[in-house]
Every structure is written in C-alpha cells, then in structure tokens.
C-alpha cells in the first residue's frame, strides 16, 4: 500500500536498511541500479573525475560524437589510476557516433514558418536557398507524402515533390534551422554502414586505451551487431562487450534478434522519441526492459533523465518520476548525458539518481524476473541461491565465476535485498560486470579446485570492512572440481563474532565492495 511504512522510518531505512527484512542486517543498503556518467571536456581534471566517483558513478561513457582521440588518451589512464587507488573496478563505455544524416553548413540560421517550402539537395554545390544533405540516397529513399524530422524532431517536413538531386518539402512545424542539424527518416532503412570510417578510427583508439564496452549507435538489426563483433575480433577486441542502442522503429521491430545478438541493450530515448510517436515511448521502454530481463541481458535507460539539472541545482518532479519508473521497471543502469558532460551540477545529478534509486528499490519492482526460466543445471543452482537469499533476507550473495555467467544470471534474477559479491580472475570481466544490476565485482585469482580457505578469507574481509555482520546470513554459490567431478553448491552461512586468527586476510584481497 501507499503507506507501507511509517514516515519516520524512511530516512532511517535509507541509512541502515530495512529492519523488518527477515534476519536482515543493519548494514548500509547497497544501491543495485548502476549509474553511468558521460564525460566532457572538464573531466581531463582528476578532481572532476573524483567528484563523479564520489557521486556514485560506476560506468564512464565516452561519447564519440563529441570526444576527441586526444581526450580518450588523456582521460582513460586517469580513470584507471583513480579506480585503482580506491580498489574499485569501474567500466569504460565508448559510444559510437554512428551513421548520422545531417544538413550541411548554411551560415546564417534560417527561420522557417509553417507552410514554407524548403529544398533539400544531395548536391553539395547546390546554390542557396537549397540546403545540402550528406546522404546520397535521400532522394531515392523518400517519396511525396513522406515526412522528415530535423534537429531532433523540432522541425517537421513533408515531401511534396522531388527530382534527381533534390526534395521539395513543406514545413509542418516552425523552427530555426542551423548548421549540421540531424535528420531522422522515421520507418526508413537508410543505406548507410553500421560502422562508419569515423567509428572505425574511434574504436581503434578506444581498444588501444582499454575500453570495456562499446555502444553501437543506430542499430537496425542483428547483422549490425554481428558486424561490430567481427570488427572487434579482427582488432584484438574479443573481450570487449557490445551494447546495442535502440533508436528507431526498425530496431524496435527487430528487438528480439538484437537482444539475442548483443551483450546489452540501451533504450536511447532521444532519437527513439523522435522516431516513434511520443505516447508510445513509455510502452516501448517498458517492453524492452522486460524482454532484456527475461533474456538475462543488462538494459540501460538513457537520455533526458535529469535534463533540467544541466542548469538548475534541483530536478523537476516529472524527472524524479521518470527516474523512479526506470528503477521500478528494473533497469540495470540509468545514464546521464549532458547532465554530467557539460552541466553545472554533475555530482548533484548523480546524488539525485542515487537517492531515488535506493528509495524505489526498497519499495519493490514490477517483478519481470519472475518470467525467467533458468537454462541448465548451473543456472538452476544460481536461481536456487537467489531464491534462498530472498527467503532469508541475506546480507549478500557470494560467488566465484570465470566466465561471468553466474553473476549475470544472479543479476537478472534481481535479488530483493542482497548485493552480489562476484569474484573473477579476469580484470576485464570484473570491470564489465560493473554494468549488471546489484553486482559488486572484483578481480581475484583462484583455482578450479577446493576453495574453502579462499571463501573464508573473503568473508573475513567483508566482516572487517563491516559489509557483513556477525550472525546474519550470507549465501554462497560455488563450483569446485575435485578429481574428475564438478560440484555445484549453494550454502547459507552465519558468520562468527570475530575473524579467526588462523585465516588472516591476504594482501591480494584489496576490496572495496561498499555501495
């Protein structure tokens, strides 16, 4: 119900957790929804990067529509150095510009009124008042009666005639047309490559710098994702994961195949909101989030989360509700763009997302994870572990994974209160898991045989840092090889009051698993 807890307990619970959870400890409640911060020119400064980390950012986005190669080379080592000093595994996400259709340079902005005629030409030498466009197939792809959207949907045009090199268009909504404005062709499959020459150059710089994720812009079908995978494999990027950005009607139509081909999905509501009727956007977002959760793929909700905070210190009530809906639906991550890249209050924006996410997570979610059907014995063991953690109100789920599969399955099942402490011997995998719901991953070498001593060492470290408390349950999901047999186990343990002196915490366990 609306009044499901006394008002006086709300602030207390934000600090110490929910005392009513069965056997739940009063340790700081870890935020499970992840936060992505887009970097801008000011983030070549280490102090500015530290502010984003202090605000709660776990993934840093390099937007190659604006970032230069020199910027990438400067900022990536600084992020890695700062993360190492904090004993954190943070992820780097390179976002490609993609195959953008734009108007050319026209000099003085043109004021367009409803009913005006505007000529768009594919001839770069066409004389004024024609507007040059950089897409050679524009005339071929459109016919009289079809519509174009210019400048992120601000200006609507309708084709009324065409010849071999130009389109005559009627202005349907007034606006001011400037240089290099983006053009959307709703429902039209444009004849442009998934990876442009600029994208290729950007990707090579990113791979050399050590990125963890690539977000591919304007994905239309699974073949676009496969093309990027092939490019990465040819350039020593086999370990890099792919995020498919859903930005137009074709992507929505092919969403099942795209989810299957990609490692993660981004609901990029900027262009998607232009391409689709705006009243459909919330439904599209909800359906994509659900399908990703059921498919056990992470999903990001992005664009205009806190747009007003680019210039204002506080969010609007509508923005708070929008963020709340994304968290309530169960998104793995929510992303800030201009709010952190160029805005005046980057840390405050992250703190708003952090506060809202923690509060909404405590109130529950839609529960799309109930439709997940575990695949095979290993996934079933993880599912059992998550179910046990939910039943006990466990203070954490501890698991060891080489491929990341166990952590991904556990995250998709959306544990209600338990953070997922995932340990992997691969540094790149630990960083990639930063995107997944509720996962606190760290790089830790381990062998494939009996690892009871290591489990106890990890638990001792968690106890020492106050991340778990004595006499509160902790669920452990483990796979061991003894001889030629594989043993998969789920255990629930309560911890002693003190760490055993026989099990000192080794120096390799430099963990920062706090929220």
Give residue-wise pLDDT tens across range 231-248.
999 999 999 999 999 999
Task: Give residue-wise pLDDT tens across range 326-376.
Answer: 999 999 999 999 999 999 999 999 999 999 999 999 988 899 999 998 888
For the chain, give every domain's residue range: 31-98+195-364, 110-184, 372-494
Q: What is the pLDDT of residues 201-215, one digit of tens each?
A: 999 999 999 999 999
Give the residue-averaged pLDDT of 52-64.
98
Please identify which of the residues 32, 181, 245, 408 carries the catalytic annotation: 245
What's the pTM value of the predicted model, to 2 decimals? 0.88
Residue 482 pLDDT: 75
Fold of 31-98+195-364: TIM Barrel (3.20.20)
Residues 6+ away with beta carbon under 8 Å from 168: 117, 118, 119, 159, 160, 161, 162
User: Tens digits of per-residue pLDDT, 128-185?
Assistant: 899 999 999 999 999 999 999 999 889 999 999 999 999 999 999 999 999 889 999 9
Q: Is the pLDDT of residue 1 over 70?
A: no
* Residue 11: predicted pLDDT: 34
- Out of 86-90, 263-267, 324-328, 511-515, pick the least confident: 511-515
Q: Which residue has the higher pLDDT, 450 or 229?
A: 229
What band does 448 get if pLDDT is binned at 50, 70 and 90? low
267 pairs with which residues across the strands?
A: 246, 301
From the candidates 102, 147, 162, 359, give the one annotated as an active-site residue.
102
Name the nearest CA neighbour of 309 among 55, 23, 21.
55
What's the CATH number for 110-184? 2.40.33.10
Percentage, residues of the chain above pLDDT 90: 74
DSSP strands (E only) in 207-298: 213-216, 241-246, 264-268
Query: Annotated catalytic, 241?
Result: no
Over 60: is that where the pLDDT of 379 sits? Answer: yes
**Distance between CA atoms of 330 and 383, rounded to whole angstroms?**
17
Is pLDDT of 503 > 60?
A: no
Tokens of 88: 């954190």
pLDDT of residue 8: 34
Nearest to 86 by CA among 53, 111, 119, 117: 53
245 in active site: yes
CB of 460 closer than 8 Å to CB of 511: no
438 SS3 class? coil
Indicate the length of the chain as a whole number.
515
Q: Which of 38, 96, 303, 424 is catalytic?
A: 303
- Per-residue model confidence (pLDDT) at position 152: 84
Helix (H, G, I), strand (E, B) or coil at 6: coil
Tell me the Cα Rg of the chain. 25
Q: What is the pLDDT, as a whole number, of residue 440?
A: 95
When comparing pLDDT for 444 and 484, which is higher? Answer: 444
Q: Is 161 a catalytic residue?
A: no
- Residue 496's pLDDT band (cuts 50, 70, 90): low
pLDDT at position 481, please?
76
Average pLDDT over residues 297-314: 97
- Give dist(CA 313, CA 233) in Å, integer: 44
- Residue 206's pLDDT is 98
Structure token digits, residue 103: 């108007």
Torsion of CA 219, 223, 224, 227, to 10 degrees: 170
What was the pLDDT predicted at 497? 54
CATH number of 372-494: 3.40.1380.20
Angstrom distances, CA of residue 476 to CA of 161, 227, 251, 407: 67, 39, 39, 12
Catalytic, 508? Answer: no
Please tell me the predicted confidence (pLDDT) of residue 484.
81
Contacts of 390 (CB under 8 A, 6+ apart): 415, 416, 417, 418
CB-CB contact of 235 with 204 (8 Å): yes
- Which residue in the block uniquely carries the two structure tokens 């174009």? 148
C-alpha–C-alpha distance, residues 133 and 169, integer Å: 13
Query: From edge to edge, which strands make up the β-sheet containing 166-171?
Result: 131-132, 117-121, 166-171, 155-162, 147-150, 183-184
Of the residues 31, 34, 61, 269, which is catalytic?
Answer: 61
Q: Is the pLDDT of residue 504 over 60?
A: no
Return the SS3 of 456. Answer: helix
The answer to whether residues 418 and 492 touch, using CB atoms and an 8 Å cutoff, is: no
């Amino acid at each position: 119900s609306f009044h499901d807890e006394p008002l006086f307990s709300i602030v207390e619970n934000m600090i110490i957790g929910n005392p009513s959870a069965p056997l739940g400890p009063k340790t700081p409640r870890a935020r499970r929804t992840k936060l992505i911060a887009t970097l801008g020119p000011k983030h070549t400064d280490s102090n500015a990067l530290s502010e984003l980390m202090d605000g709660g950012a776990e993934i840093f986005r390099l937007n190659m529509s604006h970032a230069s190669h020199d910027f990438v080379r400067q900022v990536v080592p600084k992020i890695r150095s700062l993360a190492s000093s904090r004993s954190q595994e943070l992820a780097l996400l390179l976002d490609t510009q993609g195959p953008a259709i734009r108007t050319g340079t026209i000099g003085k902005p043109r004021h367009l009124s409803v009913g005006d005629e505007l000529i768009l030409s594919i001839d770069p030498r066409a004389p004024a008042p024609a507007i040059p466009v950089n897409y050679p197939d524009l005339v071929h792809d459109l016919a009289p009666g079809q519509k174009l959207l210019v400048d992120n949907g601000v200006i609507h045009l309708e084709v009324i005639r065409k010849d071999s090199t130009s389109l005559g268009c009627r202005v349907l909504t007034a606006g001011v047309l400037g240089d290099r404005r983006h053009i959307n062709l709703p429902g039209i499959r444009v004849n442009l490559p998934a990876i442009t020459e600029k994208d290729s150059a950007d990707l090579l710089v990113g791979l050399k710098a050590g990125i963890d994720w690539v977000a591919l812009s304007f994905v239309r079908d699974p073949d676009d994702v496969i093309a990027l995978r092939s490019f990465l494999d040819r350039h020593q990027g086999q370990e890099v994961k792919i995020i498919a950005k859903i930005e137009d009607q074709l992507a929505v139509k092919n969403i099942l195949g795209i989810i299957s081909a990609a490692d993660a999905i981004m609901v990029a509501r900027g262009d998607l909101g232009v391409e689709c009727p705006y009243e459909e956007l919330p439904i599209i977002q909800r359906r994509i989030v659900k399908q990703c959760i059921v498919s056990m793929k992470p999903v990001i909700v992005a664009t205009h989360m806190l747009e007003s905070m680019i210039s204002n210190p506080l969010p609007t009530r509508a923005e708070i509700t929008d963020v709340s809906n994304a968290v309530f639906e169960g998104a793995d991550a929510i992303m800030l763009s201009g709010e952190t890249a160029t805005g005046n209050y980057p840390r405050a924006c992250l703190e708003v997302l952090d506060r809202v996410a923690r509060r909404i997570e405590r109130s529950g979610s839609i529960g799309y994870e109930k439709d997940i059907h575990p695949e095979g014995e290993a996934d079933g063991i993880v599912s059992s572990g998550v179910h046990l953690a939910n039943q006990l109100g466990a203070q954490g789920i501890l698991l060891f994974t080489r491929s990341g599969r166990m952590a991904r399955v556990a995250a998709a099942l959306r544990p209600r209160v338990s953070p997922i402490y995932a340990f992997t011997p691969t540094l790149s995998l630990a960083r990639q898991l930063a995107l997944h719901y509720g996962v606190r991953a760290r790089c830790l070498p381990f062998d494939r045989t009996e690892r009871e001593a290591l489990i106890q060492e990890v638990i001792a470290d968690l106890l020492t840092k106050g991340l778990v408390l004595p006499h509160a349950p902790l669920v452990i999901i483990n796979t061991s090889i003894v001889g030629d047999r594989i043993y998969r186990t789920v255990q629930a343990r309560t911890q002693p009051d003190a760490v055993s002196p026989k099990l000192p915490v080794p120096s390799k366990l430099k963990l920062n698993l706090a929220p």
